[in-house]
Structure formats: C-alpha cells, structure tokens
Structure 1
Amino acid sequence: MADPLYRDPAAPVAARVRDLLARMTLTEKVGQVNQRMYGWHAYERTPSGYRLTEAFRTEVAAFDGMGALYGLQRADPWSGVTAETGIGAADGARVSDTVQRHVVENTRLGIPVLMVEEMPHGHQALDGTLLPVNLAVGATWNPELYEEAVALAAAELRARGGHVALVSALDLVRDPRWGRTEECFGEDPYLAARFTEALVRGAQGRPAERIAPDRAAVVLKHFAGQGATVGGRNSAATELGIRELHEIHLEAALAGVRAGAAGVMAAYNEFDGLPCAASHELLTGILREKWGFDGVVMADGLALDRLVRLAGDPVAAAATALSAGCDLSLWDACFPRLAEAIDRGLVEERALDAAVGRVLALKFRLGLFEQPYTGERPAVAGLRELSRRLARESVTLLAHDGTT
C-alpha cells in the first residue's frame, strides 16, 4: 500500500497539508493548535539520565498528538530549572529525540511535535551561547554582523533539538521604566526594522519553502505596540492612535513579514480596550489580508485566559481568539476547549482547519516528517567570537564638552 500524500517529501506543502487535514479527527486538530505544557514538566532527571513524565504522556494521549512543546530546555529562575535538574548541551538532542519519538510512535498519524525554545539573545538553556541583548545589538548599527551571529545561534538551537526560536524584535523603547527595554533594538522604528530583517534572514535563511536543518523558524515578539504600554507596566493598555501604530510600532513587524518570518506572537497589550489576541483587525485585517502573511500567529503566555473576562467563559474566549487570527496557544486553558466552541456554534471548524493548516505547514517546512530526530551533530563553531565582536561594536563612547 502506497504511503499517503502527506508523507511524500516531493509533494508541495499545501497539498500535503490538505491531505493530512482530511485524515484528522476534531480532537487531533485541537491538539495541533495547543502548546499548553511547560517543557520542563515533560521530563525528569534521574541518576542514570532522563525519563519522560506521566504528565507528558497523558498530555499526548489526550489529543492523540501534540502541536508544540514550549521550553523543553529552558533553564532560569523563572522556570526554576537549574544545572542540577535541567538539560545540558551534551544531552539536549538526545532528550529532544526521546520526546519526539514518543509522540511519533504513540499517536495514530505520527505528526511530529514542534520544539519551541526561547532565543532572546542566544538559546535560553544550560550551556547556551549568549549574544549581547538587543539594546546593545542595536547600538552596533551593524545588522550584517548580527545576521551572521543569529545564523549560528539558530544552528546551535537546532543541534540541540529545537525547531522554533521565540525572539523579541518588534517592541520599541518608549518608557525607560518598562522592565523589558533590553529586549528592544532601540527607540527608532527604522533601526528595529533593519535588525528584524537581519534576525529573520539569519535564523531562517532567505525566503524559501523549506527551512534548512541548521536554521530555525522564527516567531517575532510582540505584535504589536507592547513597548508603549501606559506607565511602563508590562502587558498593560496602550494609548496609540492609528498613525502612531502604523508609522512606528508596525514598521519592524512589516519588515519581518517581508523577510519571511515563520510566525509572530500576539502581544498582551490592548488597543482601545481590545487585547491584541482578540483583535481581528490586527491579526487578520492588517497582518494577513493587507500584508499577506501566511505564517503562524502564537498567543503570548496565558494571554487567551485573560480573554475570559471579555468573552464570558473559557470556551467563548477560545472562539474569540481563533476567530481573530490566533493559531497556536501558549500555556492557556482556553484553546484546548475549541472542540466545545465548535459544538456550541461559536466558531466554524473551517477556522480551526486554517489554524491547524498553518501549524502543519511549518512542520513540513522544517522537514520534520522526513527527519523528526536530531541525532548527533557537530558542535557549532564561531558563535562566541561573533558574540564578542557584537559586544565590542556595541560600546558607545560619549563625550561631554562641559558647555551644557
């Protein structure tokens, strides 16, 4: 018996997506747009190595698959993962492959899971090579050097089993009290746009249907205007007019989309009382219809749960986000209930199909159906030297002539 079309690497991505979608149950579709598990809850470190947790196995079984797993290798005070409990560079690919093998071999359709990792300035993991923060990178005014460094950072992430890099790029410094200003390239939209282009080209390569095994898909954060929240508070409301939004806060996003970014992340903040994750005008009207973006829109962490107050209940909140243009959740409890939203007539299944299709397309572009496992790869060389060069070029000397 011949393999199904979606298994044919020579077939166009769109045809493979259609074939696979036609074979999926509603439960399997909902599973593909969910990323509700923290990756560090998927494994336990043991005296002899690592083992998968029962919580992870239960999550995979609940939807007969898993769309994405966030932060398998993340280690920092926020996650609580330490050198004693986390995954080092020597074990990253092996643990990632163990996770992937369980998903591929224990689900009906064997759809690989996306391994999503934070890469704010290098892979946010034990033994990850650090680059200067974005604010320092912007001070270099050297996007070509940054592109070269990001290419190696993406290669390092892929060598450890990651597929998708979450990278801040779209926010602008508008209030120094905001605690995430170091994630911005600066206050200038032109500067941010040029470095966002360099980021996408470096991590993903030049626009192409396939993303190479030594490159990573990029999800650009945050769409949009999060740096302009009132009072310098994170994820608060904004007071932006249409002109300021388009001329300042959307410039970097447009540059990233034109460079071929695989995804964007809907921000926490609100415009006129409507959160970005619920804004059809922003996520569909501007992003998809006006700009022609066909990649994945990921919600920020727990952002969809915040829509419950707006929508009335978690099921309606899930329908609101899907209808607005969100494709993939992040840790929330709403998106797993999309089947209920469809049963209640709050959203049509074709809207879910469109979101699932975009997630599947990314998996095909990454070559995960043909090569789901990372295996042994040589260490990435040269990234530390590029990081030093970026750091040196970021140094800015200020002179005071004493006249003012």
Structure 2
Amino acid sequence: MTVPRYRDPAAPVPDRVRDLLGRMTLAEKVGQLNQRMYGWDAYERAGDGHRLTEAFRSEVAAFDGMGALYGLQRADAWSGVGFADGLDAADGARTAAAVQRYLVDRTRLGIPALLVEEMPHGHQALDGTVLPVNLAVGATWDPDLYADAVAGAAAELRARGAHIALVSALDLVRDPRWGRSEECFAEDPYLAARMTEALVEGAHRAGVAVVLKHFAGQGATIGGRNSAATELGVRELHEVHLAAARAGVAAGAAGVMAAYNEFDGLPCVANRYLLTDLLRAEWGFEGVVMADGTAVDRLVRLTGDPVAAGALALDAGCDLSLWDDSFTRLGEAVERGLVSEPALDTAVARVLTLKFRLGLFEEPLPPAGPKAVGLPDPAELGERIARASVTLFSHEGGVLPLSRAVRRIAVLGPNADSLAQQIGDYTAPQRPGAGVTVLEGVRAAVRPGTEVVHGRGCGLVGDDVSDVPAAVALAAGSDVAVLVLGGS
C-alpha cells in the first residue's frame, strides 16, 4: 500500500503540505483555520479521571478535524476551572493524548491539532510553575536568566502535550492606567526586544513554538483602555511599538497574535498593512497570524455580516481564529465570492506547515517519560528572577537593612496578605500552602519578640477609605511601616 506523501516524514515540508491540501475538502480546510472551542469544554471528569465530551466530538465532526484547541489545561477564575474538575500534570498529558488519538483515528485525514496554552509567566495550568510577571522580568535586565526560566516552563508545557505557548511580549507600558501593564517587559522598546528574543530562544530549547502577543501597539490605546483605538503615527509605531515584534520574528517566533486595538482606523485583525504588507512582505515572516479571542466576530460591527467579517480578517492576513464563529463560515465566504479559495489555501498551508515542522504527524502524543533532560528548574530560576527584579527607587534615612532593634513593624496595604494578587494575572489556582505573602514573609523573618501588625487600609478598587485611619494609626505606632500596593 502506497503511503500518502503527506505521511512521509522524509518528504520536504512544502511537498507534504501541497499533497495534503490537494486531498482536503472545503470544509476540512475551514476546520484547520478554526480554534473556536474553549479547551476546558473538551473534557469532563469521569470517576478518578477525565473523558472527552460530546461537545468536543461535535466540534470535530463539524469540519472532520480541528485546527487548534485553546486552553485544554487552562485553570483560573475566568475559565472556572480548579482542582475539583481540572487537569493536573498527569491528567493533562493523558487528556491531550486522548484528543490527538481521537483526531488521528476518527477523522478522514487524521490531522492532529495544535494544542495551544497560555504561558505568560509559566504555564497557566494546575501545578504549573509560576514565574514572576513580565514587568518584574524586565526589571532584572537579564535576558539570559529569563531564557533559562522560559526553557524550564516550556518543558512543563510540552510534557503535558501542548505545542504552542501564547506569551505577551510585544506590548509596552505607555500608560500606567492600562490594566495589562504587568504583561509588558518595560516602557523601553530596546529592553522589550531583548527579552522577546530570550523568550523565543528559551521556548525553542524545549521544543515549544511561541505566538507573541499582541501585534501591534496595544499598550498605547487611548485612555489606557484595553481594546480601544490608538493614535499612533507610522513613525512612532515603527520606532517604538514594533521593535519587540521585529526581534521576535527574527528570533524565530512561530506566530503573532493580532491585537484588539485599532491602528489607523482599522482593528489589527483586519489591518492588511500590518499583517501582510509589513509582517510578511517587508519582514519576510512565514509563520501564522492568530486572532485574539472573538476579535474576528467583533468585525461584524464593520461588516454587518459574520461571513464578511471572516473574509475581511482572512484577506488581511489572519490565519487562525480564537473562539470566533465568523471564521467557521469561511466556506460560505468562498461560495459567495467574498474571498477566493486560493487565499483560503494559503492560510491553511501556513497552519499545516507549522504542524509538520513541529512533528505532529510523526509524534502527535505527549512525549513519553520524564521532562526534557538538561533543562533548568523553572521554580529555582523564578526565585532568582524575583530577587533580581527588586528595585530600590530611593533610600533616605538609613532605613534598610532593617535594624535588629526594630520592635514593631506595620505591614499595610490591600496586597500585603494576598497571594493571588501578589503572583499576578493569568495564574492558575494554587494548592493550599503554596507561596508566601509579604505579611507572612515578614512575620517569618523577624526576631522573636518583634511585633508585626497588619492593616489593609483600603481595597484595590472602590472608594471605601474607612479603614485608612486605622492603617495610619498602625503606622504611627510602629518603628517601620511596609506598604504593599500594586494591581490585581
């Protein structure tokens, strides 16, 4: 029996892609461009383990395949996944294997899916190692240290069966009101570019492809509001907001995620200048462009029609959707003449090329055995990053290091005793006893006989300041006050 050329690992990747494309129906092609399903809806608890859901099987049946599955192992308040129903490391690998077996065995062409996970500061999964957030990473000024930490975190992700890490790297802190500032390395484009290079290199060591978020200018939205428009001119865009993206593409990033914001009046996911003229024609990028969540569906506000919205994004240069319905209707867009089938084939070819280059057709299941040998321990490196990130802005009066004569310390602020707010956003639930809050750390470090008092003062949000006088009184009655502020 002759093996199809796309199944021949010795054949050149372009030949394999061409052969597979020639065998695909229009519906199968559309399926390869879709990442509609939330990964946590693909499984359910069954006894002591997990099983694939009917919703997953229905999604596969709709296109006789699946391009990518987002967040199979994501756990957090937003997804609603926790230890009671989510996937730990062992269950994650088993469930990822079940997904791939189903796709290989139950679809006509047996095309595995790209398993896409969030890795903003460690794999956002139960028992995934938590690294300091990007803003802390930038404060280390140490790309080599960061690359080692990323390699270790990416090895965890790969051991659980995933192939692609979504990582914020391209945004710059240009307005501190922006709620996602912690996802940025810095306000400086040079520093962000060096850290982005380190990110891509570190993940590559673990065999993980990186999709860089967000392209482009999302840190410069009007009023510091997420998803808003920008007022960037071409010069500022290129000199400031594209530096990290250029560096990441040159370092070998597998993809970029089109940002929510507008540039020059067009949302990035529909902006042909950004996604095609600049990224591909000028920079020579050959990877995939992924939409941010529901960004294609939002284009209906421009087109008035979900079919036309999908066609607009595809024509601009978007290859892979995220949680959108509009991209599932690209077959209709072809039939209505809104986009050509060769244009559709070009996007499908990019997705298939990535799958071949990652070795999915030869090894669709998670790697057997222990994690990759020789890669760093991300937990140890995360602590080194945390220590290196500590920044002393000013030092007056000889307060530090604290005198051993101090007898009363006030630890104040809404984040003083909150592990969840201390370790950052995009973080999975932690097991009881994991982590140490600032308050707990101070209490553990002081000499016997030193009193440590605590007051929140206020919440992170809202206008209730009724506890502030009590916090002021605690500070006035103490030798030292430690004020712990920040975001959530």
Q: Using the alignment, how far apart are the partners of 2:201 and 2:252 within structure 1?
A: 8
Instruction: Tell me what 1:292 maps to.
Output: 284
Task: Measure, in 2, the Cα distance between the counterparts of 1:351 and 1:255.
Answer: 28
Per mean C-alpha deviation after superposition, the further-off stretch among 58-67 and 380-389 is 380-389
Q: How does 1:19-168 map to 2 (within 5 A)?
A: 19-168=19-168
Q: 2:275 aligns with which of 283, 296, 306?
A: 283
**Cα distance in structure 2, aligned partners of 1:220 and 1:271:** 18
Q: Contact 1:301/1:332 (CA < 8 Å) preserved in 2? A: yes
Structure 1, unpaired ranges of 5+: 206-213
3-state SS of 2:299 partner: helix
TM-score for both structures, normalised by structure 2: 0.80
Q: Do the aligned partners of 1:97 and 1:375 also contact (CA within 8 Å) in 2?
A: no
- What's the offset of the Cα at 1:311? 1.5
1:396 CA drift (Å): 1.1
Matched, 1:259 2:274: no
Deviation of 1:400 after TM superposition, in Å, equals: 4.2
Give 1:210's aligned residue: none
Distance 1:32 1:47 in 2: 33
Output the aligned Cα RMSD: 1.1
Alpha-carbon distance between aligned partners in 2 of 1:62 and 1:326, rounded to the nearest angstrom: 21
Q: What is the CA distance between 1:89 and its match in structure 2? A: 1.2
> Residue 93 of structure 1 contacts residue 376 of structure 1 at CA under 8 Å; is this kept in 2?
no
Question: What amino acid does structure 2 have at the position aligned with 1:284?
Answer: T
Q: CA deviation at 1:379?
A: 4.2
Match status 1:220 vs 2:215? no
Q: Is the 8 A contact 2:116 2:165 kept in 1?
A: yes
- Which residue is 2:409 aligned to? none
Question: What CA deviation, in whole Å up to 9, does each residue of 1:190-209 have, x standing for no partner?
Answer: 0000000010111124xxxx
Distance 2:394 2:121 in 1: 29
Please give the per-residue CA displacement for 1:215-253, whole angstroms capped at 9, x wherever unaligned.
Answer: 211000000000000111101110101100000000000
Say if 1:132 and 1:387, in contact at 8 Å, map to a contact too.
yes
Other structure's SS at 1:388 match: helix
* Counterpart residue identity of residue 374, structure 1: P
Deviations 1:284-342 (A, max 9, x none): 00000000000000000000011011122000000000000000000011000000000
Partner secondary structure for residue 330 of structure 1: coil
Secondary structure of the residue aligned to 1:221 is strand
What do the CA deviations read for 1:52-96 (whole angstroms, capped 9, x no partner)?
110100000110000000000000000000110100112111110
What is the Cα deviation at residue 271 of structure 1? Answer: 1.4
Contact 1:160 1:374 in 2 (8 A): yes
1:361 matched to 2:369: no
1:274: which partner in 2?
A: 266
Q: State, as a whole percentage, how many aligned pairs show the same letter.
A: 75
1:94–1:375 Cα contact (<8 Å) kept: no
Structure 1 partner of 2:415? none
Q: Distance between the aligned counterparts of 1:63 and 1:133, measured in 2?
A: 38
Q: Decide which moves more: 56-65 or 87-96.
A: 87-96
**Structure 2 equivalent of residue 187 of structure 1:** 187
| Structure 1 residues 164-219: Cα deviation after superposition (integer angstroms, max 9, x where no partner) | 000000000011111100000000000000000010111124xxxxxxxx321100
Question: Which residue identity lines up with residue 145 of structure 2 in the other structure?
Answer: L
C-alpha distance in 2, partners of 1:260/1:272? Answer: 28
Distance (whole Å) between structure 1 residues aligned to residue 195 and residue 27 of structure 2:
40
Q: Secondary structure at the match of 2:240?
A: helix
Is 2:236 aligned against 1:244?
A: yes
Instruction: Look up the SS of the partner of 1:44 in the other structure.
Output: strand
Q: Distance in 1 between matches of 2:367 and 2:137?
A: 32
Rounded Cα–Cα distance in structure 2 between residues aligned with 1:46 and 1:370:
30
Mean Cα deviation higher: 6-15 or 184-193: 6-15
Write out per-residue CA displacement over residues 354-398 of structure 1, whole angstroms, 9 at most, x where no aligned residue.
100000011111101000111533146622111111111111122
| Aligned residue pair count | 394
Determine the C-alpha separation between the residues in 2 that align with 1:56 and 1:88.
20
Change (3 A) 1:226 1:379: same
Give me the whole-angstrom Cα distance separating, in 2, the residues matched to 1:186 and 1:342. Answer: 43
Segments of 5+ residues of structure 2 without an aligned counterpart are 398-488
Structure 1 consecutive aligned stretches of length 4 or more whose deviation exceeds 3 Å = none
Distance 1:382 1:273 in 2: 45
User: Quick one: distance in 2 between partners of 1:107 and 1:375?
Assistant: 22
Match of 1:382 among 377, 402, 411: 377
SS of equivalent residue, structure 2 residue 248: helix
Contact between 2:311 and 2:339, CA under 8 Å: does it hold in 1? yes
For 1:258-296, what per-residue CA distance to the aligned partner results, in whole angstroms no more than 9, with x for missing partners? Answer: 001000000000013210000000000000000000000
How far did residue 399 of structure 1 move?
2.1
2:36/2:321 contact within 8 Å kept: yes
How far the C-alpha of 1:46 sits from its partner, in A, is 2.0
3-state SS in 1 of match to 2:80: coil
Distance 1:97 1:87 in 2: 13
**Aligned pairs (5 A) from 1:4-23:** 4-23=4-23
Equivalent-residue separation in structure 2 for 1:398 and 1:347 (angstroms): 55
Larger RCO of the pair (alpha carbons < 8 Å, separation 6+)? 1
- Find the aligned partners of 2:100 and 2:341 in 1 and give their Cα distance: 28
Alpha carbons 1:28, 1:65 under 8 Å: kept: yes
